Structure 1
Amino acid sequence: MAPNRHLEIQYQPFLKYAEFSDDPILVEASPRPQPEQPGLTKTPCCQRRILSMHIVSYIVVVITTSLFWVLVMLSHTSSNDAAAACASSSTIGGTGNTSPLAIPDKAQHRVNITTGATYLTCGNSTQEARSHGCQYDVLLNNWVPAPCYDADFVAEYEEDGSSAAYRDEALTQRIEPGGEALGELEFYYTSRRDHVNHCAVMWRKQFAQLFERRAAFDSVIADPFHTEHCSQYLLDAPERAVKGGEVVPTKTFVGFAGCWVRHEDKTK
């Protein structure tokens, strides 16, 4: 049985050399490989030592590489924490003035169009607004400081012919005259068409401010919530027209807007 067993084993490719086998028959029958150059023959002990050295070197490389990337990640995390701490210490607007707008937490540390601008206010009453030299803006539905009153966009808004204001929800008691007289009221009603016109012209005004980098801009176009409101209203307008007909009044409350004024050169 031994010779047959030997014949079976010798065709196994991974048992080429006797020193890698524990089979006494294979060890006896298979000649040891001759060294390429004369010298000392490598014993199994030496081979195990060399193999151990290779394994140790691989382990050292793996550990060293791992430590390097851990240090890189820790350094990157520390840099981000320092930047966040620095940003949290600054005030919105850059002048010490606090914006009256409720800005989302995600946007608290971002640079925006109000950064570096001075905030002007109209107060909280008609009397205060007049004392600050503010004007009532029918496009904004707010009293606004003089630097932010834009007569051109007010005229564009009124060209549509839908800007009429009414005392009643049925839109039958028109207020005459309009303009600054509306600023004396607590609220008034306008049509669905007027609401759409308001949002459309406000977006044109907002684009002009951003494109031309105007030195003064009102707090309404700088308010992300007003933009969100207008976009949603325009999306819902067709469906509301079908369900509610043409008479869908908007209750408009008179407000008091602020004005951001930049002192930097807008051509920069």
Structure 2
Amino acid sequence: MLHANPDEHPFALYNKDTSRLSFRGCPFVMMQAENEQGSLLPKSFDEEKSIAVRRNITRPRTKEYAIVVLLTSMIWMTVSFGYGAAQMTNGFSKARSFRKLDCGNSTVEAKDLGCIFDPLAFLWVPAACYDTETTELYKETVDWSAYDAPGGTVKKPKGRKLSLEEMGMSAGKTFYWTSGIDHVYHCAYMWQRMHKMCSKGQCQQTDGNSRNLLHTQHCSNSMIKAALGDPEKQQEVGVQTLAGFSECFIRTR
């Protein structure tokens, strides 16, 4: 059974009525329960703590070091994000310095506005804010395939593999599924993008997911669970995603 409680997963911005899903800025990403389809996420905070404690007792120290490195990296990324967000807030105090670009609320509008579908962010993004470099690195590094149904593994998926065009055209309408390992790489490269843009003082000139703290919290939880979990589980196709539409802001002076 799929999680459907926003209180359990505050980063999942959705309503129980899927006809009223919020697609702007942050796509809908939902993980299946660990005891059913190998979710990377716990069903509750207490479960997350119990999993961490159980595995910490038996796990070799080398893996503990890896987890420490991962958590340290997350802290630095959070600090960097906070600094960039402060820059963005200061910038917005001068409203005339920025111009908002939008992709509308449908694939027709997105295309008419010249937006590009970004498979890394799962979003249609204004062309002026599309980060080609990071997306291409992601595509070269991992099998980023998406499927029209869950189940199976990357090597033997149960669903039909979607083209990039089909992924984009599904935005705001139908779900698609990716593997756990693809989701981990998605999070890693989204953080690289955020750090790169914020280090240039351009936090606001990127996709809405990179700027969304709830998405960063979601990715943090996912990567921690991946570090603690079974690597074989990451090959399973069970991450449900609903692509969306992003806005961004470019400096005008």
Could you tell me the TM-score, scaled by structure 2's length? 0.56
Aligned partners of 2:142 and 2:185 also within 8 Å: no
* RMSD after superposition: 2.5
Which residue is 2:245 aligned to? Answer: 256
How many residue pairs get aligned? The number is 158
Aligned partners of 2:207 and 2:248 also within 8 Å: yes
**Aligned mates of 1:174, 1:180 — CA distance in 2:** 14
Aligned partners of 1:135 and 1:180 also within 8 Å: no
Matching of residues 1-268 of structure 1 within 5 Å: 111-113=86-88, 115-116=91-92, 117-170=98-151, 171-176=157-162, 178-185=163-170, 186-214=174-202, 216-241=205-230, 244=233, 246-264=235-253
Distance 1:138 1:245, change over 3 A: closer
**Aligned mates of 2:235, 2:207 — CA distance in 1:** 31
**Aligned mates of 2:209, 2:99 — CA distance in 1:** 15
Deviation at 1:118, TM superposition (A): 2.5
Distance 1:256 1:157, change over 3 A: same
Distance 1:224 1:163, change over 3 A: same
Aligned partners of 2:134 and 2:189 also within 8 Å: yes
Report SS of the residue matched to 1:118.
Answer: strand
Percent sequence identity is: 33
Kindly provide the amino acid, as one letter, of the partner of residue 164 in structure 2.
G
Say which one has the larger Rg: 1
Kindly provide the amino acid, as one letter, of the partner of residue 120 in structure 2.
L
Q: Which stretches in structure 2 are left out of the alignment for 5+ residues?
A: 1-23, 27-81, 93-97, 152-156
**Aligned mates of 1:252, 1:263 — CA distance in 2:** 34
Deviation at 1:119, TM superposition (A): 2.1
**Aligned mates of 2:87, 2:216 — CA distance in 1:** 15
Distance 1:230 1:155, change over 3 A: same
**Aligned mates of 1:101, 1:135 — CA distance in 2:** 14
Aligned partners of 1:137 and 1:180 also within 8 Å: no
Kindly provide the amino acid, as one letter, of the partner of residue 254 in structure 1.
A
Deviation at 1:135, TM superposition (A): 1.0
Distance 1:146 1:172, change over 3 A: same
Report SS of the residue matched to 1:162.
Answer: coil
**Aligned mates of 1:203, 1:119 — CA distance in 2:** 23
Aligned partners of 1:219 and 1:260 also within 8 Å: no
Report SS of the residue matched to 2:103.
Answer: coil
Q: Runs of 4+ in structure 1 displaced over 6 angstroms?
A: none
**Aligned mates of 2:87, 2:201 — CA distance in 1:** 12
Aligned partners of 2:25 and 2:246 also within 8 Å: no
**Aligned mates of 2:141, 2:228 — CA distance in 1:** 22
**Aligned mates of 1:139, 1:242 — CA distance in 2:** 22
Q: Which stretches in structure 1 are left out of the alignment for 5+ residues?
A: 1-99
